[in-house]
Amino acid sequence: MWKFFKAYIILEINEIMRNLFFPLFLVLVLLGFNASAIKKIQGKVIGNGAGIANATVSNLSGSRSAATNRAGEYTIIVEDGDQELRFQAPGYYSQRLSIGTKSILNVKLTIDPPAAKKLAAEEIARNKAKLIRIQGNAIKDPGRRTLEGDPSADIAAYRITTTGSPGVMASEAGTILSKPAVSRMQIRSIERNEFRSKSNTESYKPIQENGFIAPNKTPLSTFSIDVDAAAYSNVRRYLNNGALPPKDAVRTEEMINYFNYDYPQPEGNDPVNIGTEIAATPWNPQHKLVKISLQAKRINTAALPAANLVFLIDVSGSMAQSNKLPLLISSFKLLTDQLRPNDRVAIVVYAGRTELVLPSTPGSAKTTIKDALNKLMASGSTAGGQGLQMAYKVAAENFIKKGNNRIILATDGDFNVGASSDQEMESLIEEKRKSGIFLTVLGYGMGNIKDSKMEILADKGNGNYAYIDNISEARKVLINEFGGTLFTVAKDVKLQVEFNPSKVQAYRLIGYENRLLADEDFNNDLKDAGDMGAGHTVTAFYEVIPFGVKSGFTPFIDPLKYQKFEPMSSNNGSPEILTVKLRYKQPDGHQSKLLQKAVLNTNSPFENASESFRFAAAVAEFGLLLRQSEYKRDANYEQVIRMAQAAKGKDTEGYRAEFINLVKSAALLAKDLLSIENTNKFNEKN
């Protein structure tokens, strides 16, 4: 009997193992990538008996990092080569732990007495300043009972004295913060406001995804080009911190245009040329994917016109974090090293007030420029509008004819003094751009990024917008792409595509939702559009439903009652599928020039497309997945990885390899999210 029972147990265990192993094996096969290439680590950072909020968890190279939440909890995606994690928090000794085979790493940090003392003194000074402001407000308005906007605080209970008593806190300067006694409610009020200031207030402009359009009703598609790449580095920051990005943070065209592609250089006198390519759509093979590419001419750095630059730097209190002002200063030092003797730089800073900290200085005086950067400190509110006005004034005073006159604004976009609304900033920039001064916007930090505001500033200021999440990105934007970032070769670049309804049943522009123009805007030279810098590439995809293909994306409309609708013949005599038209102006010009190119209808499998086409399509599909697009059809992370790996090509800087790892991270995070959603649905049903 025992032998029979033992054999039965063994058979049951084997059956269980087979049931567990085969799905796991199938998942690994379908994933099509080395699962050990990335790994998710979770845990908690503890100090003095409680979780430490805003502690930093990173790999040793700093390429992957995450911040703990208020409870001290964190999630980080690490790479295969990572063997240790570094844990850091203000006032504590840093600590390193070996990862090994662990997926959960908890750590207890030890207080660093000198650092903790300094941190406490700084906190006391901040609270002292806050109490002085509160007292001042109470004097101005005795009936006011708010603490930094918190109605539960009792301002009248606070007073500042210079004599001590047991239990009160003293700063290093000897000033006593007293009450006759600060209530617990008031302390909690301070803590709530401190937490609110650290909570996530990032803002993104809502995106209504482009749908399919019938060319027999609307044959023209018109939009402004976009060379910004801020969305990609911002998405990377989210994924590296162990979270999927908000849908509206994913601008698919900026994801695609983050990468350089091997497009032919312009010939003749035009600074930009048009390229096209057609292949099957990888996520819906019945459809065609049409790629329109633009290439701006490359110019040797030595041959670029002299630059008159104004560094406009946000030094407000919100920039005090390590991934803001310190990273910003390091970035601008990299840029300073690229300056030539005939270039000039001025530095304007703004916080509660605006100040010119460095008058226009030759690019050869690199030590002087770097010394001015090193002295910058963050504090105060954010008067962004006043800063812009002074920067334009300084740029105009040092204007170089036929030169590159440009303001480089570096900020987290958190304007809260003076002109601060999107509309106010837009009006200010539209007025100033007529002076021939361009604007580049560099975004920094996390938690309170005002993405929509910075995008508007760059768009309306005849410039570009990049998000700097680490020093490697600063090097890419300010060194590797120095000419494209700072030197415009074609401005107000617009595209208009006319589709042949005998070849196209419906079309959809992928991305560029924030760049759409009215058809009549194409020929209107007063209408602002995007600008291209030296060496820049622009890629745009249209997903096309060929004539005669049955598709659920083509809406059915009842027959008309008062007029007869007759679809066009499938053969109108033209072999063309579409015509691309482009308009651009010279950087100092006011009249646009027209370029155009007709595109023949072809049928080509995706595998036969060029390397640039296939890699860009992989990025586009990734964007569809992150946005959870209703048009993603058969798109999946495994397919994106296979496509990108097959089209990685020459990857000198490693940007494409990094992309593949990001997709793997997103696949793991999306899988976890799906598991949580399924669990929640199950719990709701039961």
**Predicted local confidence at residue 263, as pLDDT:** 95
Contact 210, 479 (CB under 8 A): no
Select the highest-mean-pLDDT range: 118-127, 199-208, 515-524. 515-524
**Predicted local confidence at residue 131, as pLDDT:** 56
pLDDT tens for 233-268 read 999 999 988 889 999 999 999 999 999 998 999 988
- C-alpha span between 411 and 351 (Å, rounded): 11
How many residues does this entry show for the chain? 686
pLDDT tens for 501-538 read 999 999 999 999 999 999 999 999 999 898 998 999 99
Q: Does residue 90 surpass a pLDDT of 90? A: no
**Predicted local confidence at residue 566, as pLDDT:** 58
Where does the pLDDT of residue 332 fall: very low under 50, low under 70, confident under 90, or very high at 90 and above? very high
**Predicted local confidence at residue 158, as pLDDT:** 31
**Residues 95-106: b if buried by 16+ CB within 10 A, e if exposed:** eebeeeeeeebe
**Residues 151-173: b if buried by 16+ CB within 10 A, e if exposed:** eebebeebeeeeeeeeeebebee
**DSSP-derived secondary structure for 382-441:** --HHHHHHHHHHHHHHT--TTSEEEEEEEE-----SSS-SHHHHHHHHHHHGGGT-EEEE
Distance of CA 5 to the CA centre of its chain: 61
pLDDT tens for 163-181 read 333 333 333 333 333 333 4
Where does the pLDDT of residue 430 fall: very low under 50, low under 70, confident under 90, or very high at 90 and above? confident
- C-alpha span between 680 and 686 (Å, rounded): 10
Strand partners, 488: 533
How many CB atoms lie under 10 A from the CB of residue 553? 16
Q: Does residue 333 surpass a pLDDT of 80? A: yes
**65 vs 496, residue with greater confidence:** 496
**Predicted local confidence at residue 685, as pLDDT:** 59
Q: Does residue 461 surpass a pLDDT of 60? A: yes
- C-alpha span between 622 and 80 (Å, rounded): 22
pTM of the model: 0.72
Where does the pLDDT of residue 577 fall: very low under 50, low under 70, confident under 90, or very high at 90 and above? very high
**Predicted local confidence at residue 19, as pLDDT:** 52
**198 vs 238, residue with greater confidence:** 238
**Predicted local confidence at residue 172, as pLDDT:** 34
**Predicted local confidence at residue 61, as pLDDT:** 76
pLDDT tens for 283-308 read 999 999 999 999 999 988 888 889 99
**Predicted local confidence at residue 23, as pLDDT:** 47
**Predicted local confidence at residue 308, as pLDDT:** 95
- C-alpha span between 47 and 446 (Å, rounded): 24
**Residues 127-140: b if buried by 16+ CB within 10 A, e if exposed:** bbebbeebeeebee
**DSSP-derived secondary structure for 581-641:** EEEEE-TT-SS-EEEEEEEE-----GGGS-HHHHHHHHHHHHHHHHTT-TT-TT--HHHHH
Choose the weakest-confidence range: 61-65, 359-363, 388-392.
61-65
Q: Residue 447: how many CA atoms within 13 Å on its side-chain side?
A: 18
Question: C-alpha angle with apex 452: 350 to 478, nearest 5 degrees?
Answer: 65
Beta strands 404-411 and 488-499 are unpaired
- C-alpha span between 51 and 58 (Å, rounded): 17
Select the highest-mean-pLDDT range: 96-105, 111-120, 142-151, 194-203. 96-105
- C-alpha span between 356 and 315 (Å, rounded): 12
Q: Does residue 28 surpass a pLDDT of 70? A: no
**99 vs 13, residue with greater confidence:** 99
How many CB atoms lie under 10 A from the CB of residue 13? 10
How many CB atoms lie under 10 A from the CB of residue 303? 8
Contact 223, 516 (CB under 8 A): yes
pLDDT tens for 621-671 read 999 999 999 999 999 999 999 999 999 999 988 999 999 999 999 999 988
- Mean pLDDT value of segment 568-597: 87
Q: Is 82 helix (H, G, I), strand (E, B) or coil?
A: coil
The residue with tokens 């990377």 is 236
- C-alpha span between 386 and 335 (Å, rounded): 25
**Predicted local confidence at residue 392, as pLDDT:** 92
Residue 193 tokens read as 């406001």
Where does the pLDDT of residue 34 fall: very low under 50, low under 70, confident under 90, or very high at 90 and above? very low
Q: Does residue 120 surpass a pLDDT of 90? A: no
Question: C-alpha angle with apex 506: 500 to 507, nearest 5 degrees?
Answer: 85
- By CB neighbour count within 10 A (0-12 exposed, 13-18 middle, 19+ buried), where does 676 fall? exposed
Quote the mean pLDDT of the chain: 80
Residue 25 tokens read as 């094996």
**Predicted local confidence at residue 146, as pLDDT:** 36
The DSSP call for residue 476 is: I
Where does the pLDDT of residue 184 fall: very low under 50, low under 70, confident under 90, or very high at 90 and above? very low
**Predicted local confidence at residue 252, as pLDDT:** 97
How many CB atoms lie under 10 A from the CB of residue 654? 10
Residue 323 tokens read as 């991934």
Q: Does residue 351 surpass a pLDDT of 90? A: no
Choose the weakest-confidence range: 195-209, 316-330, 463-477, 637-651.
195-209
CA distances from 110 to 48, 76, 214, 237, 634 (A): 8, 22, 65, 28, 50
Where does the pLDDT of residue 127 fall: very low under 50, low under 70, confident under 90, or very high at 90 and above? low
- The end-to-end CA distance of the chain, in Å, is 40
**Predicted local confidence at residue 425, as pLDDT:** 67
- Mean pLDDT value of segment 74-95: 87
- Mean pLDDT value of segment 199-211: 83
Q: Does residue 42 surpass a pLDDT of 60? A: yes
